């Protein structure tokens, strides 16, 4: 895949479009945005660009949404202004965009004042959405400087969701309909820049798809457009056997099957958002992952199938896991106990991740990462009270989930010995194996996570 730069000012006639998504580090500042613009303009098939907020902006907005005192609000707002102004100051014609960004900052100020009086998930989503709105406005100006026909598009016109603020679910049928009507015709006329991560519910209020949801946005729009490919540009050149920042010896995977990549994403590989691949899989759209800092370094292509898939493919790590153990003698030989437990969890909007059972107890994990709202709110007093009326409840926090991703793991001999034989020094809290032939998962104390990953990677991949 060649990403040599050619700054053609004229757009080619529209064939099957490629959707390009750039993460926060790829639009962090003026230089990063220009590198991303080079990538976009080097490939005439790229007609739709989906952006995250500039690196650091979302965290500042989330903090404002939590309700801060006046002094802290001023500091956070100044930090946001500083990051965005540094980009504006280097534009050829900064005045028009400066006025627009100032209006956005004024709005952020008013919303953060409101949050200091009373917080809400709806207010959080409204506030946090400004990160993507600002980065896309700035990127449009950078493309415009290259004399390329470009248009800013508000994704909320097409990304219709439910009202589960912080982790909203898109209505894919309505999305598809709106994309064909409102977005597709614009791609004929110009390069279109839009926002990842944000949407709009039935009453017109802004929603967000959860942290990292920009990847999901790109894949959903690609599905609706029947795109040729989704290119995800991040700060690492592809998907590795584990996080290369943690293990320098990690190796890049050049081609990986959808199922393997989906398992990696689900179990914490930060290169992809867990739900990203679902729309791509539904339509068989390949996903390319590369580095915007070094596009010539190549990357990973996620596609339907690969030749000779290995037994062990990669290791993924997910921190901040909570283990809930439920003990009850009435479980013994009884029917319906699990149904009752899951009924309670469903009423409290809790999604169970992993589960193991014995005669008189159930252990299950809750994933407390992913939402823009506070993770601590998952285990509410009302939920614990309702569970306690049914059984004895134990809660362990700050655990880490290690997932070994592979192929036909449940049919292979000796996997247990190869994995756990080198983990004698560590306390393994829970093991899930056999439900999927693509993964083997277990929990360890959070403080041991890095060392477990390093030990396993050395044994299985190096």
- Whether residues 203 and 350 share a domain: the answer is no
Residue 235 assigned ligand-binding role: yes
The residue out of 200, 234, 268 marking a domain boundary is 234
Asked if residue 102 is part of any domain, the answer here is: yes
| 165 pLDDT higher than 90 | yes
- pLDDT score, position 1: 45
Asked if residue 260 is part of any domain, the answer here is: no
- pLDDT score, position 375: 45
Residue 132 assigned ligand-binding role: yes
- Whether residues 223 and 321 share a domain: the answer is no
Reduce the DSSP state of residue 9 to 3 states and report it: coil
- pLDDT score, position 10: 43
The residue out of 185, 209, 234 marking a domain boundary is 234
Residue 245 assigned ligand-binding role: yes
Helix orientation angle between 95-117 and 70-88, rounded to the nearest 10 degrees: 160
Residue 100 assigned ligand-binding role: no
* CATH number of the domain within which 214 lies: 3.40.1160.10
Residue 408 assigned ligand-binding role: no
Residue 131 assigned ligand-binding role: no
Asked if residue 254 is part of any domain, the answer here is: no
The residue out of 209, 234, 259 marking a domain boundary is 234
- Whether residues 348 and 227 share a domain: the answer is no
- pLDDT score, position 314: 94
- pLDDT score, position 3: 40
- Cβ proximity of 187 and 17 under 8 Å: yes
Residue 438 assigned ligand-binding role: no
Local structure of residue 329 (DSSP, 8 states):
G
* CATH number of the domain within which 454 lies: 3.30.2130.10
As a whole number of angstroms, the longest Cα–Cα distance in the chain is: 74
Residue 58 assigned ligand-binding role: yes
Residue 157 assigned ligand-binding role: no
Residue 22 assigned ligand-binding role: yes
- Whether residues 44 and 170 share a domain: the answer is yes
- Whether residues 228 and 337 share a domain: the answer is no
- Whether residues 318 and 228 share a domain: the answer is no
pLDDT in tens, 372-400: 444 456 788 999 999 999 899 999 989 99
Asked if residue 256 is part of any domain, the answer here is: no
Euclidean distance between CA atoms 338 and 36, whole angstroms: 50
- Whether residues 228 and 317 share a domain: the answer is no
Domain count, the chain: 2
Boundaries of domain holding 84: 18-234
- Cβ proximity of 187 and 47 under 8 Å: yes
- What b/e sequence results for 286-321 when a residue is b if at least 16 CB atoms lie within 10 Å of its CB, and e otherwise? bbbbbbbbebeebbbbbbeebeebeebbbbbbbeeb
- pLDDT score, position 27: 97
Confidence at 261, pLDDT banded by 50, 70, 90: confident
Asked if residue 284 is part of any domain, the answer here is: no
Asked if residue 6 is part of any domain, the answer here is: no
- pLDDT score, position 369: 56
% of the chain with per-residue pLDDT over 70 = 93
Asked if residue 304 is part of any domain, the answer here is: no
- pLDDT score, position 8: 42
Confidence at 405, pLDDT banded by 50, 70, 90: very high
| 81 pLDDT higher than 50 | yes
| 370 pLDDT higher than 70 | no
Asked if residue 87 is part of any domain, the answer here is: yes
- pLDDT score, position 344: 92
- pLDDT score, position 39: 97
Residue 106 assigned ligand-binding role: no
Residue 24 assigned ligand-binding role: yes
For the entire predicted model, the pTM comes to 0.81
Six-digit token string for 32: 């990063």
Radius of gyration of the chain (CA): 23
């Amino acid at each position: 895949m060649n990403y040599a730069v050619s700054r053609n000012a004229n757009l080619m006639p529209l064939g099957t479009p490629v959707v390009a998504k750039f993460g926060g580090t790829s639009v962090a500042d003026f230089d990063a945005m220009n590198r991303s613009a080079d990538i976009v303009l080097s490939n005439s098939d790229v007609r739709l660009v989906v952006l995250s907020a500039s690196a650091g902006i979302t965290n500042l907005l989330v903090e404002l949404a939590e309700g801060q005192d006046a002094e802290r609000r001023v500091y956070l707002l100044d930090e946001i202004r500083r990051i965005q102004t540094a980009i504006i100051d280097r534009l050829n014609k900064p005045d028009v965009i400066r006025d627009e960004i100032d209006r956005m900052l004024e709005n952020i100020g008013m919303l953060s004042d409101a949050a200091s009086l009373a917080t809400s998930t709806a207010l959080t989503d409204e506030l946090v959405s400004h990160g993507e709105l600002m980065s896309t406005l700035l990127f449009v100006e950078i493309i415009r400087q290259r004399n390329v026909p470009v248009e800013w598009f508000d994704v909320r016109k097409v990304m219709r969701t439910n009202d589960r603020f912080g982790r909203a679910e898109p209505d894919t049928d309505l999305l598809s309909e709106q994309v064909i009507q409102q977005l597709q015709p614009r791609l004929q006329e110009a390069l279109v820049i839009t926002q990842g991560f944000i949407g709009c519910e039935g009453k017109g209020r802004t929603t967000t798809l959860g942290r990292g949801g920009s990847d999901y946005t790109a894949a959903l729009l690609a599905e609706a457009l029947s795109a040729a490919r989704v290119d995800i540009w991040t700060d690492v050149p592809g998907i590795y056997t584990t996080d290369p920042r943690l293990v320098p010896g990690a190796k890049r995977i050049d081609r990986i099957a959808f199922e393997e990549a989906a398992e990696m994403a689900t179990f914490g590989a930060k290169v992809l958002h867990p739900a990203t691949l679902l729309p791509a899989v539904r339509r068989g759209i390949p996903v390319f992952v590369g580095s915007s800092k070094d596009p010539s370094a190549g990357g990973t292509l996620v596609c339907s199938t690969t030749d000779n898939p290995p037994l062990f493919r990669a290791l993924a790590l997910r921190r901040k896991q909570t283990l809930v153990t439920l003990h009850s003698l009435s479980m013994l030989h009884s029917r319906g106990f699990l149904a009752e437990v899951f009924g309670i969890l469903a009423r409290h909007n809790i999604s169970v991740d992993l589960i193991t059972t014995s005669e008189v107890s159930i252990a299950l994990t809750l994933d407390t990462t992913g939402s823009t709202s506070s993770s601590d709110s998952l285990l509410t007093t009302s939920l614990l009270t309702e569970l306690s009326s049914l059984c004895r409840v134990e809660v362990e926090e700050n655990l880490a989930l290690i997932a070994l991703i592979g192929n036909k793991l449940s049919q292979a001999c000796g996997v247990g010995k190869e994995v756990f034989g080198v983990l004698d020094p560590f306390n393994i809290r829970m093991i899930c194996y056999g439900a999927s032939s693509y993964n083997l998962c277990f929990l360890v104390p959070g403080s041991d996570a890095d060392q477990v990953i390093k030990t396993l990677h050395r044994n299985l991949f190096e």
